[in-house]
Structure 1
Amino acid sequence: MTKAPTVDDVARAAGVSRQTVSNVLNAPDIVRAATRERVQAVIDDLGYRPHTAARQLRTRRSSTIGVHLDPYAGGISGVVLDRFVHALTERASERGMRMLLYAARTPEEEIARMGELLDGGEIDATIVTGTFHGDPRTGWLTARALPFVSFGRPWGEDDVAAPAHLWVDVDGAAGTAASTRHALGAAGPRIAFLGWPAGSGTGDERERGWRETMTAHGLAAPRWTVEEHVPAARAVVADALAAGAEVDAIVCASDSLAIGAHLAAVAADRHDLLVVGFDNTPAVEALGISSVEQLPEKVAAGALDLLMGPTGSVVAPRPAASGSAHVLVEPRLIVR
């Protein structure tokens, strides 16, 4: 059986001291770039992995980041968060970190669970998902001084010039703007928007991309509102088409809404009606519906960069300073 490489093996191969290897692993910012890159190359070549238990005793860190696992609710769009968590786990492992999944049904339950994990020394940081206006979790985390990044903005605040905390998000407005431009070129000027009730943050951003693009072209079209439910979306669009709504395309806030709109268009014999979704789930791919790809792998990488630095192997979050406390991922429109 081949013996696993040790810190001494890495130091010898890189021509540095054992302490320098330790610094590269635990405090990379204090090591000169050329030395850090040389040591990291040897670590990669040898396949060296720090011994987790020994490292925990030495540094008093758990080498673990917590992330909330949303309750299973069925539906179509939950696959995005599944991909995000999977990507986090892969990329954290590459940095010698582990992910700890915890479940909670409400923000209050999540706060209680995070408190247990923090008091037990089980996590060094956490990543919260699904932020919303007045989110109590972020204030609690700030008060407890537990390093964290949110997947979702601090809604209702100036999250760029005066950020309340570190955050990473997908630029929803850019996604729907790309969808609207595509629809204008491919279908015609009458582009409706099918979205959620106002006030959701994420939904408002996605609507903004459609609205600003239409306004820039001097155009106006219907804005239909519905909850996140395929049958409800189908009913809203079916009623609008039956009432004589003149639209060339529908830009949707999610794939669930897009599938509902698509089914309504087919039933109304409007096979020419272009529908564009948001999330690029396997369901819309199977139906041949264009959709915005959120790139959750890039979101995961951005979250870890904020918590650990671009090459760090320990939690060392950057300050929540103006302009540098966030990563905004531009999504990609997939045309079918």
Structure 2
Amino acid sequence: MNVPKIREVGMAKSPTVEDVARVAGVSRQTVSNVINAPDIVRDATRQRVNAAIAALGYAPSMAARRLRTQRSATIGIHLDPYAGGISGIVLDRFIHALTDRATPRGLRILVYAAADADEELRRIRQLREGGEIDRIVLTGTYAGDPRADWLAHHDIPFVAFGRPWGEPGAGAEMGHPGRPWVDVDGAAGTRAATGHALAAGRRVAFLGWPEGSGTGDDRERGWREAMGDAADGLRWTSVDSVSQARAVVDEALAEASVDAVVCASDTLALGAHLAASHSGRPDLPVIGFDNTPVAEALGLSSVEQRPERVAEAVLDLLVADPATHDGDWHRLITPELVVR
């Protein structure tokens, strides 16, 4: 097949659909069909039009397509306020991966800010009514989260990154087919981390967040499953703060001897590592969760959440047709223990 050349049109401006039609020797409507409904065009004609598009460097107008289809092909996602710390990089990696993988699917990402759930829902309503977004990725799910029910009620397609941590019967149950989600199997991660740590001895402590966090409780569960009865008395608690985690572990190590510490985050792991070094045990095995650059720099083992795989699964569910999708609407991504 002969590939058309740009000089055949002899233009200095951006190519138009009429230019593509002229080079390919077809009508403007045929070019439009190749772009918007390729299945109805004969293979030979479609190949000729695609060759002309490639040769001319033609890019279909997304604005015109949105007007024609009444769909923006744009995914809205909340951008959390910058709070510093260590573990926030996981969400940054997720948004980057989502953007990178959305482009080949003909989708775009629009980030928006909001201080709380109510403001976020108002923002979503404005963006939807303005035709700027037509689907949502939820992040930061929590018990009693009203957003999934609101989106479902307003027929806005969405997928949550994170399980709908709530009480059974609250309207956002784990297995609800109308509440699609993708999450990382935190229990599997800490179970693997604890299994590895047990090679150093039977007394493996767990440094986690205060009870009541769905994500934190899930990570604690993996540790308990690996430890069994040996877990008694080895559960330590701290908020996600390096200084507070260090203070908690400083006190715990002064009162009891442990062989290793598994942590619910790299932030806690850094605090535990500093406390161990301060107490004269710099080689105490400490395993974090999130596999951040800080853990890598300090040589700490950590659980890698694989946000790139989460992003791929989120997009798969977000573009799935409910009328034909016969798979599961809930995906658990198995994390990977990175040993250093």
Q: TM-score range by the shorter chain?
A: 0.7 to 0.9
**Local SS of the residue matching 1:307:** helix
Q: Structure 1 stretch 115-124 or stretch 230-239: which is displaced more?
A: 115-124
What amino acid is aligned across from residue 173 of structure 1 in structure 2? A
Q: Partner of 1:93 in structure 2? A: 103
In the alignment, the residues of structure 1 paired with residue 27 and residue 198 of structure 2 have an alpha-carbon distance, to the nearest angstrom, of 62
Partner of 1:330: 334
For 1:165, the equivalent position in structure 2 comes to: 179
Q: Aligned pair in 2 of structure 1 residues 334, 58: CA closer, same or farther (>3 Å)?
A: same
Higher relative contact order (CA 8 A, sep 6+): 1
Please state how far the C-alpha of 1:159 moved relative to its aligned partner.
Answer: 5.0
Give the residue type in structure 1 aligned to 2:280: D
Structure 2: gaps (5+ residues): 1-10
Q: 1:2 Cα shift?
A: 8.7
- Number of the residue aligned with 2:258: 247
The alpha carbon displacement at 1:305 in A equals 0.8
Are the equivalent residues in 2 in contact too, given 1:255–1:281 (CA < 8 A)?
A: yes
- Unaligned runs of at least 5 residues, structure 1: 310-316
Residues in 2 aligned to 1:210 and 1:173: alpha-carbon distance in whole angstroms:
7
* Shift of residue 10, structure 1, vs aligned partner: 9.6
Deviation at 1:308, TM superposition (A): 1.2
Output the CA distance in 1 between the equivalents of 2:141 and 2:52: 40
Q: Is the 8 A contact 2:165 2:174 kept in 1?
A: no
Match of 2:134 among 114, 118, 124: 124
Residues 233 and 260 in structure 1, CA contact (< 8 A), matched pair in contact too: yes
In the superposition, the TM-score normalised over structure 1's length comes to 0.83
* Shift of residue 162, structure 1, vs aligned partner: 3.3
- TM-score normalised according to structure 2 size: 0.82
| Residue type of the alignment partner of 1:130 | G
1:205 maps to 218
Q: What secondary structure, in the 3-state scheme, does the structure 2 residue paired with 1:179 have?
A: helix
Q: 2:239 & 2:154 partners in 1: Cα distance?
A: 35
Of 191, 195, 214 in structure 1, the residue corresponding to residue 204 of structure 2 is 191
Letter in 1 for 2:98: L
1:234 aligns with 2:238: no
CA distance in 2, matches of 1:128, 1:51: 28
- Which whole-Å CA distance do the structure 2 matches of 1:30 and 1:192 have between them? 63
Deviation at 1:95, TM superposition (A): 1.7
Partner amino acid, structure 2, of 1:206: R
Structure 2 CA distance for aligned equivalents of residues 259 and 306 of structure 1: 36
**Whole-angstrom distance in 2 between the partners of 1:40 and 1:237:** 63
- Comparing 42-51 with 299-308, greater Cα deviation is found at 42-51
Aligned pair partner of 2:305 in 294, 303, 316 = 294
Coordinate RMSD, CA, aligned: 3.6
User: 1:225 maps to what in 2?
Assistant: 237
Distance 1:135 1:320 in 2: 29
The match for 1:278 is 289
Residue in 2 that maps onto 1:78: 88
Q: Which amino acid aligns with 1:266?
A: S
Structure 1 residue corresponding to 2:144, chosen from 124, 134, 141:
134
- SS of residue matched to 1:168: strand
Cα offsets for 1:147-187 (capped at 9, x unmatched): 111111111378554344111111111111110111112x1
Cα offset, 1:77, TM superposition: 0.6
SS in 1 for 2:131: coil
Please give the per-residue CA displacement for 1:249-302, whole angstroms capped at 9, x wherever unaligned.
110000000000000000001123100000111111111111011111111111
| Shift of residue 85, structure 1, vs aligned partner | 0.9
Between Structure 1 and Structure 2, whose CA radius of gyration is higher?
2
Residue 87 of structure 1: how far off its partner (Å): 1.1
Cα distance in structure 2, aligned partners of 1:46 and 1:221: 70
User: In the superposition, relative to structure 1, how do residues 182 and 55 fare at CA in structure 2: closer, same or farther (>3 Å)?
Assistant: same
Give the stretch that moved more between structures: 57-66 or 128-137.
57-66
Q: Structure 1 pair 158/105, CA: closer, same or farther in 2 (3 Å)?
A: closer
Q: Within the alignment, does 1:175 sit opposite 2:207 as a pair?
A: no
- Among candidates 47, 50, 63, match of residue 53 of structure 1: 63
